[in-house]
A and B are shown apart, each in its own frame.
Chain A
Amino acid sequence: GAGVSQSPSNKVTEKGKDVELRCDPISGHTALYWYRQSLGQGLEFLIYFQGNSAPDKSGLPSDRFSAERTGGSVSTLTIQRTQQEDSAVYLCASSSLDGARQTQYFGPGTRLLVL
């Protein structure tokens, strides 16, 4: 595809339910990042993938959050037993090479609302 895509664009769920958020990076991009954008919290890093491995999971807020990446492409962020404080916009980004100089390209985000 031409850019990073994410689905669903919006998700409303009830407290306690599990949700899965999907990210399709730009074809050929090996590095993939998940960020969360919360009101009053700004943008925070969640997890980083290089290929299918996740060398940095330091931003995941709790063990209810997990992510995987398969085939070096699509990534899924899963939130189990959702809580109201999980409500945020979840952004995915990818870059072509792993390195400081590379620009990250962001998807449109998934807006999650936990009732």
Chain B
Amino acid sequence: AQSVAQPEDQVNVAEGNPLTVKCTYSVSGNPYLFWYVQYPNRGLQFLLKYITGDNLVKGSYGFEAEFNKSQTSFHLKKPSALVSDSALYFCAVRDIASGTYKYIFGTGTRLKVLA
């Protein structure tokens, strides 16, 4: 079965410092991995995805993620955090096995960037 794990409920980081939000996955076949961000009282916004190709994927708002096949990880990173990055972040894997391509989401990680 396909699954995604976000081991940290919350991550705190000082403004200007680099941030990492962790995600590991378990899939059969090729992984299709996504990151979304959710600001308070708003829907999910797409940040970036890994389908194939370069292991380092660049996305919106200066975020990037590194696909690591050997560690089955897809950690979200940003070199310098902003207070406005504070939000709830979800990692998701595409469910290929079911044929419907629905997302299977992690439980989310709340990022707090402290001024």
Residues of A within 8 A of B (CB): 4, 31, 33, 35, 42-45, 48, 55-56, 58-59, 91, 93, 98-109
Query: Whose C-beta in chain B lies nearest to the C-beta of A98?
Result: B101
B22 at the interface (CB under 8 A from A): no
Q: Which of A42, A55, A59, A108 contacts B108 (CB 8 A)?
A: A42
Q: How far is the CA of A107 from the CA of B44 in the complex (A)?
A: 7
Q: How far is the CA of A42 from the CA of B46 in the complex (A)?
A: 17
Q: Give the most central of A42, A55, A102, A104: most B CB within 10 Å.
A: A104
Interface size on B, residues (CB 8 A): 24
Q: Report yes or no: A104 in contact with B42, Cβ–Cβ below 8 A.
A: no
Q: Report yes or no: A43 in contact with B90, Cβ–Cβ below 8 A.
A: yes
Q: How far apart are A63's CB and chain B's nearest CB, in angstroms?
A: 20
Q: Report yes or no: A91 in contact with B44, Cβ–Cβ below 8 A.
A: yes
Residues of B within 8 A of A (CB): 32, 34, 36, 42-46, 49, 51, 90, 94, 96, 98-108
List 17 A-B pairs, Cβ < 8 Å: A31-B101, A33-B103, A35-B103, A42-B105, A48-B100, A56-B98, A56-B102, A91-B44, A93-B44, A98-B101, A99-B101, A100-B32, A100-B51, A100-B94, A100-B96, A104-B46, A104-B103
Q: Do A103 and B102 form a contact, CB below 8 Å, given A42-B107, A42-B108, A43-B90?
A: no
Contacts of A93 in B (CB 8 A): 44, 103
Contacts of B49 in A (CB 8 A): 103
Contacts of B101 in A (CB 8 A): 31, 48, 98-100, 102
